[in-house]
Amino acid sequence: MDGGPLSNMHARDVEALLHPYTNAVAHRSVGPHTIERGEGVYVYDSEGRKLLEGMAGLWCAGLGFHDEELIEAAREQLGRLPYYHLFAGRSFEPAVELAEKLKELAPVPMSKIFYQSSGSEANDTQIKMAWYYNNALGRPEKKKIISRVKGYHGVTVFSASLTGLPYNHKDFDLPVSDRVKHVATPHHWRGAHPGETEAEFAARLAADLDAFIEAEGPETVAAFIAEPVMGAGGVIVPPEGYFEAIMPVLRKHDVLMIDDEVICGFGRTGNWFGATTLGMTPTSISMAKQLTSAYVPLSAVAINAEMAEAIEQNSHKIGLFGHGFTYGGHPLGCAVAIKTIEIYQRRDIVGHVRKVAPLFQKRLRDHAGHPLVGEARGVGLMGALEVSPDREKAATFAQPGKVGAKLSAEMLSRGVIGRAIGDSFAFCPPMVITEEQIEEMFAPLEASLDATLAWAKAEGCLG
């Protein structure tokens, strides 16, 4: 934004909106960045700039920003049944058809689908189901949930408690419960001992998890929740063999494996689900974002047969299953999700991701040697550069987030939207991106890094 008076739109915005993940005081003087329309992998702002949306919005617009088939599917459903619910045994065709499709696509056999509107709600549902399930089995003490530092599972009261990021806790009085426990981030570059291989690091984390569960008491631990790749934690890809080492520990202690696929699901990692790519065997799955290519809010939880049977029987004992959302399984969301999955299959979006991902990962890693870059990491069509004052020591800046924000601003000034996550700069473009557009997305990165490095030196950020 320029330094002149705020436009009418800017003035209206700052007087009417409280923006998520925004410094509200700074926003009053800077004003909003107003996006007016989208087309493919591009969005256009109120200043007429064409911007390559390198984050697919918020990791979610898998088919880009103006897919006519999705728009028409929405129109058709609105004309037929604009709203209904699934309470008290009511049903409608799109909700059933989508549930059948999700069961077919799941990386391991799943029995039932439960709908919500957001990933946060899906992960809240996961915890309620884990507790309900253990109560149904006569295990009222088995309620603790293990998450991970830097994991991101949402912003509702309990899903934010699961999230392992300080800015989601500070002054919100979170975590809200001592049932939430956090264990180490599986980040080899930062967490490995000197000389420790990825496989050795993974084995150590698994042994630490085993010891942690033993110390807590296995009879008190209900579930372990994890993203296949940590998204909002900075696109942290787990070390080689991590989930393969974790899974036997969970089975040993009869701990549920909740797979948070809100970001990784529906092709992002080069498979339908990140669990397949990263070697995870879930007992339940959270889905959202690319489920509808973000055109309509919708999320889903899939549970396996053992959980479904216990939950169903407990609902019979109590008289009903007392959980649900007004918009859970909204017919508009379900219809758009059905069409989204059909498009993913017909256009072979998973195959396309596999085709273009090697170039994406190469162009990302081409910058690993830049003096400002500590690590380049990623998988499929998601990745990040983490900036650091000292790569060899995996050092952090004295003022975390300041340099990352500058890099994001430099990229935006050159026509590419990414996302600064602290001092990591993330890319997660629409999955329809072409190789030519990947080159376009990364073309300004070197100049942006150089400009950020010069600024960091001038600001004294490098020590």
Q: Is the pLDDT of residue 3 over 90?
A: no
Q: Which residue has the higher pLDDT, 1 or 7?
A: 7
Nearest to 224 by CA among 181, 176, 177: 181
Banded model confidence at residue 4, pLDDT cuts 50, 70, 90: very low
Q: Per DSSP, what are the bridge partners of residue 115?
A: 300
Mean pLDDT of all residues in 72-90 = 98
Domain coordinates of the chain in residue numbers?
Answer: 33-66+348-458, 69-346
3-state secondary structure (DSSP) of residue 74: helix
Banded model confidence at residue 294, pLDDT cuts 50, 70, 90: very high
Provide the total of helices (H) and of strands (E) in the chain, helices listed first.
17, 15
Contacts 24+ apart (CB under 8 A), 42-48: 43/417, 46/7, 46/9
What the block records as the tokens of 440 is 């376009």
Q: Is the pLDDT of residue 6 over 60?
A: no
Question: Is the alpha carbon torsion for 419, 424, 425, 427 positive or negative?
Answer: negative
pLDDT tens string 370-403: 999 999 999 999 999 999 999 999 999 999 999 9
Q: Which residues contact 211 (CB under 8 A, 6 or more apart)?
A: none
* Mean of all residue pLDDT scores within the chain: 97
The pLDDT value recorded for residue 463 is 73
Q: Which class is 33-66+348-458 in CATH?
A: alpha beta
Longest dimension (CA), the chain: 68
Q: Is the pLDDT of residue 30 over 50?
A: yes
What the block records as the tokens of 436 is 């030519």
* Dist. CA 261–CA 160, nearest whole Å: 16
Mean pLDDT of all residues in 7-17 = 91
Nearest to 432 by CA among 333, 324, 243, 290: 290
* Dist. CA 76–CA 114, nearest whole Å: 24
What the block records as the tokens of 349 is 């979006």
Mean pLDDT of all residues in 282-308 = 98
pLDDT tens string 398-428: 999 999 999 999 999 999 999 999 999 999 9
- Element holding 346 (H helix, E strand): helix 331-346
Nearest to 253 by CA among 209, 293, 297: 209
Q: Given strand 424-427, what is the order of strands in its sheet? A: 373-379, 382-387, 424-427, 419-421
Cis peptide leading into residue 175 (ω within 30°): yes
Q: Is the pLDDT of residue 148 over 70?
A: yes
Which phi and psi (to 5°) does residue 425 adopt?
-115, 115
The pLDDT value recorded for residue 2 is 45
pLDDT tens string 238-270: 999 999 999 999 999 999 999 999 999 999 999
pLDDT tens string 152-172: 999 999 999 999 999 999 999
pLDDT tens string 193-225: 999 999 999 999 999 999 999 999 999 999 999
* Dist. CA 209–CA 199, nearest whole Å: 15
Which phi and psi (to 5°) does residue 412 adopt?
-60, -40
Give the other-Cβ count within 10 Å of 451's Cβ.
Answer: 18
* Dist. CA 37–CA 33, nearest whole Å: 13
What the block records as the tokens of 148 is 């991970």
* Dist. CA 427–CA 359, nearest whole Å: 13
Burial class (CB in 10 A: 0-12, 13-18, 19+), 407: buried
Q: Per DSSP, what are the bridge partners of residue 257?
A: 224
Banded model confidence at residue 235, pLDDT cuts 50, 70, 90: very high
CATH 3.40.50.300 fits 69-346, yes or no: no
Banded model confidence at residue 7, pLDDT cuts 50, 70, 90: low
What the block records as the tokens of 243 is 């989930």
* CA 426 vs CA 378, 416, 447, 458: distances in Å: 9, 12, 17, 24
* Dist. CA 254–CA 219, nearest whole Å: 9
The pLDDT value recorded for residue 282 is 98
